[in-house]
Structures are given as structure tokens and as C-alpha cells.
Amino acid sequence: MGWKPIHEAHAIDRVRILVQFNSPLTDKILTKAAAPATSKFQELGFEQLLRAESTIQGFMISVQPGPIVPEIAQNGWVLKRSSAGVLTEEAGFRDGVFGYMSTEYGRWENLATRFWDVFESSLSIALDSVDISSIKLEYWDRFVFDGQPASANLRDLLVTVDPVIPESAVTGAALWHSHSGWFENHNENVVLVNRNIDVIDEPSAEGPRRHCNIFTLVELRAAKAIDNVQNCKTTLEHLHRRSLALFGSSLAEAQRNNIGLNLADYLQ
């Protein structure tokens, strides 16, 4: 009985990377930038190629009474791959942001290689016309308690818990949510660090199961715009290390050992 990660080797439910531009791409440039991926989406392992919504907020003027339903321009593309009817991977090329999501995680090196296989050429083309204003890395991790929910003590999973959470909730008597965020500096850039913890009950064949979902977000907001792929790669590696340091420092040592996370590797 105790807390266990959702996978044998790690607790990661999904990962998302978002690359934001300092101004929207024109339709012509977006089409050109997305082409290296859209032209061979099946070769890259994706099953679907769909049009995507614009990230530009528009408005409509209507002479008819009643609510206005805006028309959203579809000027980008989304590549999707599923397994057993469940979305497992998505790559999006929109005018203001390129984004990637995966629910299949083995090692960071493998995920980063996959991201660059899909996006490197596209980003290189886009960066001839715009700069990157921010890069965001998000992790969703999940642990499940093997036992009665009321016995799910979060102190067996987490090193520290927000002191405003009642002790009775921490030790399993109630569900709770905690949100923490702050700003740091990295090479004269602002970095947003965010950690959310959700303690919830999910149904199962054996009855309700207590889950602890940990959301970790690290976003670099560039003081000087990122204008080449190599700088983007360096930034993403920093975000990965900072994210793992934050996640690892949140977990009890026994839990870090369970998933093979050596905290010292990410605190250097």
C-alpha cells in the first residue's frame, strides 16, 4: 500500500512544448514553415493532417440581435497520432505559436529528438521572418494511492505541502488543490515557474482511487528575442533541467528513487 507512479519507470502523463512568436506569421510564411512537416506527416508517423485555428483574436459586427458567434480563421495545421482511439501525439503549426504534445515518454533525450525532427526545419524558416518571444515546457505527472483514499497521506509522497492546507486534508480526509508560482532570472531573461498540485478521487473497478496530479510549468520570456534554432535548443534544455529540479525537489526521496530521478543531476 502506498503512492505509485502511473508508469513503472516514471509518473509522466503528458508533456507539452510551446514556442511563441513575437508577431503572427503571415499565411504565406506559415505555409512555407509548416511544409517540411505537413508534406511528409505520414512519414513522420502521424495519421491525421487537419487545419488549425488562428491564434489571432478577431471580431465581428452584426446587425442582427442576439449573441455573436465569431468566425475563427483556419490558417494553420495540426498533425495527430492516436492509439486505440486516444490521442497520443500532436504537433501544431499556428500563426502565433508552434506546439507539441505527447503522452508517450521514455527519456527526455528521445522526446527532444522527436520534437526537433518535427519542428527544426519549420522553426528555422519561421525565424527568418519573426523571433521567438517565449518558450514554455509543461509536465503533467500523476501518482495513484494503492489503498483506501482516506489513508492517502501526501507526506509519504511530497517533501513539503503548502502550510495553509489543513493537516486532515494532507493525511487523506479531504481533497485539495495547491497553486504556487514565482519568477526567476536566467541570463537576463524572466522565467515563470509554476507548480500546481491536485489531489482528487477517480473511479475504478475497485472503487474510488486517490490521485495526486502534479503540473509543472517553466516558461522563459525572452528579454532579447530568440532568433535562431540553436538558442531555442539551449533554452529548452535549461527549461527541462529547471522543471526536473522543481519536480524532484517536491518529491520524497523514496519516490525519487522509485522513478530513478537523481535530484543532484538537475541542481548543478
Q: What is the pLDDT of residues 190-244, one digit of tens each?
A: 999 999 999 999 999 989 999 999 999 999 999 988 999 999 999 999 999 999 9
Residue 9 is predicted with a pLDDT of 87
Residue 142 is predicted with a pLDDT of 98
pLDDT level of residue 55 (50, 70, 90 thresholds): low
Dihedral (CA of 61, 64, 67, 69) sign: negative
Residue 12 is predicted with a pLDDT of 95
pLDDT over threshold 50, residue 69: no
Query: Which of 236, 15, 228, 36 lies closest to 132, judged by CA?
Result: 228
Mean of the pLDDT values across residues 54-73? 50
On whether the CB atoms of residues 144 and 258 are closer than 8 A, the answer is no
pLDDT level of residue 53 (50, 70, 90 thresholds): confident
* Distance of alpha carbon 101 from the chain centroid: 7
Dihedral (CA of 103, 107, 108, 114) sign: negative
pLDDT over threshold 60, residue 70: no
pLDDT over threshold 50, residue 267: yes
Name residue 6's beta-bridge partners. Answer: none
pLDDT level of residue 56 (50, 70, 90 thresholds): low
On whether the CB atoms of residues 180 and 158 are closer than 8 A, the answer is no
pLDDT over threshold 60, residue 63: no
Mean of the pLDDT values across residues 86-91? 96
pLDDT tens for each residue of 157-174: 999 999 999 999 999 999
Q: What is the mean pLDDT of the chain?
A: 92
Q: How is residue 72 annotated by DSSP? A: P
Please give the model's pTM, rounded to 2 decimal places.
Answer: 0.91
